[in-house]
Structure 1
């Protein structure tokens, strides 16, 4: 660490310590008062949370660096592994990267807290029926929110964020275990399985990546909070969302669609570019310095700092900019997904692109409420990937635009359902079919289709390099390029299309709500009645389970706007 940075961080830590003492103790009456606000309103708490987060970012770097130095020479088995599955323990002990990630989790475990609500509803009991809950009733009761924050602070937890529906807090693993009276273990988010034969077995053929690991109780991801504090309904541990992208290397030798061909296949004639429309992308991070982004002055910034280690976010950002190069694109990291979605809406984004999800429609109540809130209260259109052979949530949520995949043959332009993309009937929401519409997606087994930029040497870049398809993509491990696709890419493409529609509507004095956007996309989609999706469902009729209403088409969707 540079000397100036260390001195600056140390100075900040010193100031924060003095500031903490000046408030009296950790048992301040409210977070608002702790940062000098004279009220305990929810707005004050949200503001206080934002202020605290920004203040602590710099100090956090120094703390982590110091902890890493102190760990040198410490070879004891981390306590989180003591309650972990034998397979996880074996994987962690055999991989230095995983061992380091576990030591990070020992130092900091993140959990979301549901305070008692205004309507007296326990949100956990409403899973699958969250649409029946009024947003006003689902928001925290103000007095319980303040009491919950005060309690967490008094117990030594750090408040990461006070959101619209819950609290995100963090603390050392041992502190969290003591607070909740549970044992935490290491879990691994399930990665997409490329070979369908492997889906027949409970043990997957792929080892976890560091980003897959998280700490949680083995018995349940939710812990009842009423026994811990009267103002808290539940504590919830959220596994990492998985990118909807192929993990295996694609090959440039296969037929692929170049950038201009993508635009033509989507019915985009270049007359619109998305200028004046603010788009948010929630993903793994963003390598803004990629040479592809430097060709022209894109209005593209990463709101949150941090490297894009996987390469997924960088690739998805290009899918948006290739379609809507004039839009205002802002990238938010998915470390706290509900927080990122709310911040994006607060920052004025009217389109939020989410190329990830949880398999088997595993849902999370606070995140579901945040999604509903930005759609219903902020008027933002939220787009979610249906999955690549997985039944993804939140794509199955009725208010989002769920995006599947259509393969446009690079040789003759013919359309068929992608057998790499998901399409299904929801088990969580009645009469809900996924997807609503589709973007462009390659075929099984690897989804090889589109040239995409990634950070040089990122996980995607390294994992896909090599001499020949199907085991590699004939690119170098550090060249910053991969060939790939999936419903991740399809979702980002459709987000770009929505930006074009909103630009056009604004120029013609039309007001576009999320429901109108979805309706225009569906009505203007090109029917696809050939092929089968990843589950073997045939594309028959319009709409169908394989592709929804079909491949989005800019020109036809604009005509639907003219009818409004």
Structure 2
């Protein structure tokens, strides 16, 4: 499987093209500029994106995704090198040992031959990582697992809204993740789903890692009536999160759910996220399971201002709430003054987060890996796990219920819109060392455990 995928991406490459802004302002490697300048100042002149897209198409390349602030262009690697001045080849990440991961790397400087006057920069895209509990030696099974959909709906208080017809109907949600396998669980519950690949070589019928299939089931448990599109960002060994996010924005959804981070910094992603929020899209990102956005770290969480960042809260068998010691909390290194998370969703505890029973693609990477400690078989299409990935999918479902009720009135949802729907969490400590300290809001969980209980417009 990995060998076939490598062969495809040795023939097909992709680059990120950032057009020049009309003001001359460029984000470059300093996303903190978004704290001082509105997104509009980073937009190119009208028709610039069209001119660039048409020019690359005439060169024989494929415009895989395009937004108001950037494009992803793909094609034959030799042609890509001719148009952009340097080959972009896959290189294996030697630091990730538990699975094979490749990253696109440019052999030299990248520049656009067509319309160089319109292009601020060309970059090789960063790879991504999906967030899940790390594999650790097994412990005795937990005395409490959440089952989908009923336990998640009950925990959120969404079951009461469902009974009143608030199920997310008419709300368009895009999940950017590893794919969505046609699982019997999804068919049995009548969910409305589709899959769009971020890049042409990615197979929309498969979820080789299995993460996206699992996360979609949790989101749909909370908001079963949404129209869910999965933008598949990854195969087993390759991932293209920026292109996938751009593709998600193109679909003009109400909500975008992102249970992942990037390998090393991806500055342009922050501009794409900020622009999506400007357009009225509610964007959610996982806080991380140990990762932060420390600039020198390989595993980068995403905390763009305007996006909702989601941490983790464990709900015990007795209903007690405490900060998950698996979930990240931090003060952003990229955006001074930004604290993560804004709010939290359900999450397991260390060492391996065994908490929620998820459907997944039989025999996929997560099915095989988690079977070592979760009590399921390596090819049965089920796994037990959790993390801020699941917390984010859950929170995206709650956000969809809020959108259906008119909360936010057509703009992106803000933390303040959801704060009253959060249950206070005053005990526990995050994996990064923040203690709730007996008060809420706090640094460990933000405003607490998001629910749907207070989501009544007006």
Question: Paired residue for 1:27?
Answer: none
Question: Paired residue for 2:383?
Answer: 482
Answer yes or no: is 1:294 the counterpart of 2:187: yes
Question: Paired residue for 2:442?
Answer: 544
TM-score for both structures, normalised by structure 1: 0.70
Q: Deviations over 1:473-528 (max 9, x none)?
A: 2222221100001101000001111122223347xxx825324x521322331121
Give the superposed CA RMSD. Answer: 3.0
2:283 aligned residue (360, 363, 382): 382
User: What is the CA-CA distance between 1:227 and the residue it aligns to?
Assistant: 12
Question: Paired residue for 1:140?
Answer: 44
Larger Rg computed on CA atoms: 1
Query: Structure 2: 5+ residue runs without aligned partners?
Result: 198-203, 235-239, 294-299
State the SS of the aligned residue for 2:322: strand
State the SS of the aligned residue for 1:319: helix
Worse-matched range after superposition: 253-262 or 381-390: 253-262
- Does the 8 Å contact 1:404/1:437 carry over to 2? yes
Question: Paired residue for 1:434?
Answer: 340
Answer yes or no: is 1:526 the counterpart of 2:423: yes
Matches within 5 A, 1:240-255: 240-248=127-135, 253-255=141-143
Answer yes or no: is 1:283 the counterpart of 2:177: yes
User: What is the CA-CA distance between 1:100 and the residue it aligns to?
Assistant: 3.9
Question: Paired residue for 1:450?
Answer: 356
- Does the 8 Å contact 2:291/2:301 carry over to 1? no
State the SS of the aligned residue for 1:448: coil
- Does the 8 Å contact 2:126/2:266 carry over to 1? no
- Does the 8 Å contact 1:537/1:546 carry over to 2? yes
Cα distance change, pair 175–328 in 1 and its aligned pair in 2 (3 A) = closer
Answer yes or no: is 1:235 the counterpart of 2:122: yes
Number of aligned pairs? 433
- Residues in 1 aligned to 2:211 and 2:365: alpha-carbon distance in whole angstroms: 9
Question: Paired residue for 1:494?
Answer: 395
Answer yes or no: is 1:261 the counterpart of 2:154: no
| Higher-helix-fraction structure | 1
Cα distance change, pair 99–271 in 1 and its aligned pair in 2 (3 A) = closer
TM-score for both structures, normalised by structure 2: 0.84
Q: Deviations over 1:230-254 (max 9, x none)?
A: 3322111122221111252777822
Greater relative contact order (Cα < 8 A, sep 6+): 2
User: What is the CA-CA distance between 1:286 and the residue it aligns to?
Assistant: 0.5
2:33 aligned residue (90, 115, 129): 129
Question: Paired residue for 1:405?
Answer: 312
Worse-matched range after superposition: 126-135 or 278-287: 126-135
- Does the 8 Å contact 2:32/2:336 carry over to 1? no
Cα distance change, pair 102–546 in 1 and its aligned pair in 2 (3 A) = same
Cα distance change, pair 125–386 in 1 and its aligned pair in 2 (3 A) = closer
- Residues in 2 aligned to 1:348 and 1:358: alpha-carbon distance in whole angstroms: 23
- Residues in 2 aligned to 1:242 and 1:476: alpha-carbon distance in whole angstroms: 24
- Residues in 2 aligned to 1:146 and 1:529: alpha-carbon distance in whole angstroms: 51
User: What is the CA-CA distance between 1:102 and the residue it aligns to?
Assistant: 3.4
User: What is the CA-CA distance between 1:535 and the residue it aligns to?
Assistant: 1.2
User: What is the CA-CA distance between 1:279 and the residue it aligns to?
Assistant: 1.7
Answer yes or no: is 1:473 the counterpart of 2:374: yes
| Higher-strand-fraction structure | 2
User: What is the CA-CA distance between 1:119 and the residue it aligns to?
Assistant: 1.5
Matches within 5 A, 1:210-229: 212-217=101-106, 223=110, 229=116
- Residues in 2 aligned to 1:149 and 1:267: alpha-carbon distance in whole angstroms: 46
State the SS of the aligned residue for 1:483: strand
Q: Deviations over 1:2-26 (max 9, x none)?
A: xxxxxxxxxxxxxxxxxxxxxxxxx
- Does the 8 Å contact 2:273/2:304 carry over to 1? no
Matches within 5 A, 1:35-54: none
2:70 aligned residue (166, 175, 193): 166
Question: Paired residue for 1:310?
Answer: 209
Cα distance change, pair 376–230 in 1 and its aligned pair in 2 (3 A) = closer
Cα distance change, pair 99–166 in 1 and its aligned pair in 2 (3 A) = same
1:462 aligned residue (368, 379, 385): 368
